[in-house]
Structure 1
């Protein structure tokens, strides 16, 4: 059989499935660097005075950093990015010289406290446990009433940060509410404490200026784009190199090794690992060639399918260019799983032969034209 390159298209799907658009990165950055009141509390100058200043390290910022948590399930579906992809982006921020983020172990951030003794017991617990008292006070300020309630539910990370405490000691104190410790042993108090909702757990400053926020987004976007281009180039280069050293058919193989092809493959491997500049030059040449190839194709059917897809699903789903490109290439995402969308055989994997980024650009253009 002759090579058809179908395995190459399948492998590319893994790279495109990990890519993230700039506007998604902006949403993630806004979630991570939630605004705080440190500058106002410390009586420093407003953000406007620092607009033209250099970004600060964690040691020189006014804000020392706050303990934050993002619900993993909610964040994954809000951004339509896999959990491991978000973790990777947060690692990029942690390893940056400006130390924008300090990643911590994932934790359960929602605390539900239930008193089987009724509202009176809840009030008694609040009197001896400051975190519970603060949680009740915050909810009362929002209009909640606790006259007949025997339970309270709150975000323990947000509560701890508002009190200036670490969440670890607060959790330990809440757990101890379940037990009555006495010299003779421990007995249950009738209070049940449950923790739920696993979260991304980290520490980040909340006084970043607008320029600093844009710098964070630019940094992440550059890393994502560079990673995608590098992976695609390495995959294409490996495919073409192995193809050049392989026999066209299995019956053409012989008992003796073909030293000419072996030397050619060895030369490629040495050049690949020892000459970085050569790799970068070939990457730029490959980008130019792929652009020429994509513009020379007849994309009329692709445009027609994009318009039909938008008309059918644009009202019930939040569509963008990457979503449409993923469906046309059969790439699953948290909000568009293959188990569901694979049943839409009219569009799922219908344009594997067209460059992914070409579909993305055309689909984005069609969506903008409808707004």
Structure 2
């Protein structure tokens, strides 16, 4: 068993060994480098308030009459645009649906770009018989007989859901009237209420995401500190020996689940580096074509890939993963200050 598993998961894994009632042993393997890397990865899903606000501004159109309308966000492009993992986007959308105020209702994810061709009946003639075709002709872009349109836009005009519209298209396909191809998988949702204060909502969601991130990091720290204590600091009394630390681990586990979080024996994460600020400055100067946020810079320095800054491109820089032993928030704060100097204005 390795330290990758956080404590709550580790308890479950340990329990499986003795299910038959026989004596069982759990062997823990850990090292500092693995801890640094895993701790860095705890920051892979974090989002800053600037990105959240930008995201919400696209989720909710400026048009106040958008209540009741079906909207969509194409998953891949949205993930890159906001530098948010797809699962994080879904988490935020779910909170907007299930939070104190229900701002939207999530619909099934579906492909939202349709490329359609007419076959048996001319398009204009078919439009006179079928309202969906009439709306499609009005809303689509026609290139060489191919009609490309956005599924939610047509569905809104018709007063149906994207799934219902897709079913109508499928029926026409079975009759030989059309062929079509769907692409661009997207999150779909119906707006129920437009927020009156996007800034406050952004701050609230950012705070919540930050708390989740901090909790994950703390669990990793507690797990490593417990292992460090057992190996290096245990007095080998009360049932413990050089290889058997059942007793001290039992005490640590009981304290953890009782909410007693006083395990802080090992300070492995550094809070400063004499070269950090200079390296960030050089990194920004050598990549002046890119638009960075403090979190994006910190991720590069910690060797964390993200949708907008993938490893295939940014892993080639010699700064990649150089500062995994420096606390991520320290690196991010240094990046924020250097970005202020670099662009000459405040950075969120």
Q: TM-score range by the shorter chain?
A: 0.7 to 0.9
1:37 is displaced (CA, Å) by 4.7
1:199 paired with 2:186, answer: yes
1:359 paired with 2:331, answer: yes
What per-residue deviation string (whole Å, max 9, x for no partner) do you get for residues 95-133 of structure 1?
21322232222101111111246xx81212222222332
1:309 aligned to 261, 273, 283, which one? 283
Q: Secondary structure at the residue paired with 1:97?
A: coil
Evaluate the alpha carbon distance shift between residue 240 and residue 207 of structure 1 in structure 2; reply closer, same or farther with a 3 A threshold: closer
The alignment yields a C-alpha RMSD, in angstroms, of: 3.0
Instruction: Please give the residue correspondences for 1:97-246 in structure 2 after superposition, counting only pairs within 5 Å.
Output: 97-116=100-119, 121-138=122-139, 150-180=145-175, 188-189=176-177, 191-205=178-192, 207-209=194-196, 211=197, 213-246=198-231
1:6 paired with 2:36, answer: no
Q: Secondary structure at the residue paired with 1:16?
A: coil
8 A Cα contact 2:139 2:154, kept in partner: no
Structure 1 Cα separation of the partners of residues 159 and 297 of structure 2: 45
Structure 1 Cα separation of the partners of residues 133 and 81 of structure 2: 30
Q: Secondary structure at the residue paired with 1:19?
A: coil
Q: Secondary structure at the residue paired with 1:314?
A: coil
Structure 2 Cα separation of the partners of residues 129 and 318 of structure 1: 48
Structure 1 Cα separation of the partners of residues 126 and 146 of structure 2: 11
Instruction: Please give the residue correspondences for 1:254-333 in structure 2 after superposition, counting only pairs within 5 Å.
Output: 258=241, 261-275=245-259, 278-279=260-261, 294=271, 297=272, 299-315=273-289, 317-333=290-306
8 A Cα contact 1:70 1:201, kept in partner: yes
Structure 1 Cα separation of the partners of residues 286 and 127 of structure 2: 54
Evaluate the alpha carbon distance shift between residue 24 and residue 325 of structure 1 in structure 2; reply closer, same or farther with a 3 A threshold: same
Structure 2 Cα separation of the partners of residues 105 and 169 of structure 1: 12
Name the structure where helix makes up a greater proportion of residues: 1
Instruction: Please give the residue correspondences for 1:46-85 in structure 2 after superposition, counting only pairs within 5 Å.
Output: 63=67, 65-85=68-88
1:163 is displaced (CA, Å) by 3.1
1:94 is displaced (CA, Å) by 2.4
Structure 1 Cα separation of the partners of residues 181 and 130 of structure 2: 16
Evaluate the alpha carbon distance shift between residue 158 and residue 138 of structure 1 in structure 2; reply closer, same or farther with a 3 A threshold: closer
1:261 is displaced (CA, Å) by 4.4
Structure 1 Cα separation of the partners of residues 201 and 57 of structure 2: 10
**Count of residues in Structure 1 that have an aligned counterpart in Structure 2:** 309
Structure 1 Cα separation of the partners of residues 275 and 256 of structure 2: 38
Structure 1 Cα separation of the partners of residues 112 and 122 of structure 2: 24
- Unpaired segments ≥5 residues, structure 2: 1-29, 344-348
- Unpaired segments ≥5 residues, structure 1: 40-62, 181-187
Structure 1 Cα separation of the partners of residues 54 and 83 of structure 2: 11
Structure 2 Cα separation of the partners of residues 38 and 95 of structure 1: 22
Evaluate the alpha carbon distance shift between residue 223 and residue 247 of structure 1 in structure 2; reply closer, same or farther with a 3 A threshold: same
1:66 is displaced (CA, Å) by 2.7
Structure 2 Cα separation of the partners of residues 125 and 113 of structure 1: 13
8 A Cα contact 1:36 1:206, kept in partner: no
So what's the TM-score if we normalise by structure 1?
0.75
Aligned to 1:343: 316
Structure 2 Cα separation of the partners of residues 94 and 326 of structure 1: 30
